[in-house]
Copies of this chain bind each other. A is one copy, B any other.
Amino acid sequence: MNTQDVILGLLCKEPRSGYDIKQHFEQYFSFFFDASYGTIYPTLTKMEGLELITKESIRQEGKPDKNVYTVTEKGKEHFREYLERAAEPELLRSDFLMHLYFGDMADPEAMNGIIRRALEEKKRMYDDLEDKYRKLDSVTGPYQKLCMELGLVQYKAFIVKLEEMLGKSGD
């Protein structure tokens, strides 16, 4: 899975601009995928060259022009191939867990702060995701909902465990 596959998937649902794509990443994918404008725009140009998508410049009133991309038949076929491929193994990179792992080398006070901050951060992410979940429109399919539910239960488990940890060590 790379940015190209994901963009292709979004454009299979409806035509979008690079800016719209980034918005969608932030709204719905933020907890398991992200890409910056520095990746999105060059990728769109590349995909146009490969004839996976076509560009149309739209003039807007009171806003800058936007380039709206539409997937081609070739692009749809590419995405179908992606969907059929076995999913790549999940990748997690957690600097918090690394800090925790080496916790005995740090000042206990500092570690406490790090754990507390991680907990606050996770709670914030949980609330954010829950908020997005509640705001899902009726058009949203069951699979999208399941995605978010999977995110929520994992966040929750993390939060519960961390709170249990902090509780045990007094405070």
Given contacts A83-B102, A105-B83, contact A92 B95 (CB under 8 A): no
Given contacts A91-B92, A97-B147, A156-B157, contact A9 B102 (CB under 8 A): yes
Most chain B CB atoms below 10 A, which of A5, A32, A114, A118: A32
Whole-angstrom CA separation of A19 from B31 in the bound complex: 33
Whole-angstrom CA separation of A33 from B98 in the bound complex: 8
A32 vs chain B, min Cβ distance (A): 4
A52 vs chain B, min Cβ distance (A): 16
Residues of B within 8 A of A83 (CB): 99, 102, 105-106, 110
**Identical copies of this chain, number:** 2
Q: A131 an interface residue at 8 Å Cβ cutoff?
A: no
Quick check: A33 and B93 within 8 Å, CB to CB?
yes
Quick check: A105 and B12 within 8 Å, CB to CB?
yes
Residues of B within 8 A of A101 (CB): 9, 28-29, 143-144, 147
Quick check: B98 and A146 within 8 Å, CB to CB?
no
Residues of B within 8 A of A28 (CB): 101
A129 vs chain B, min Cβ distance (A): 12
Contact pick for A117, options B87, B94, B142, CB 8 Å: B87
Contact pick for A146, options B9, B84, B100, B146, CB 8 Å: B100
Residues of B within 8 A of A160 (CB): 153
Q: A158 an interface residue at 8 Å Cβ cutoff?
A: yes
Quick check: B1 and A104 within 8 Å, CB to CB?
no
- Among A19-67, those with CB < 8 Å from B are 28-29, 31-33
The 5 listed contacts between A and B (C-beta, < 8 Å) are A83-B105, A87-B114, A100-B143, A102-B143, A153-B161
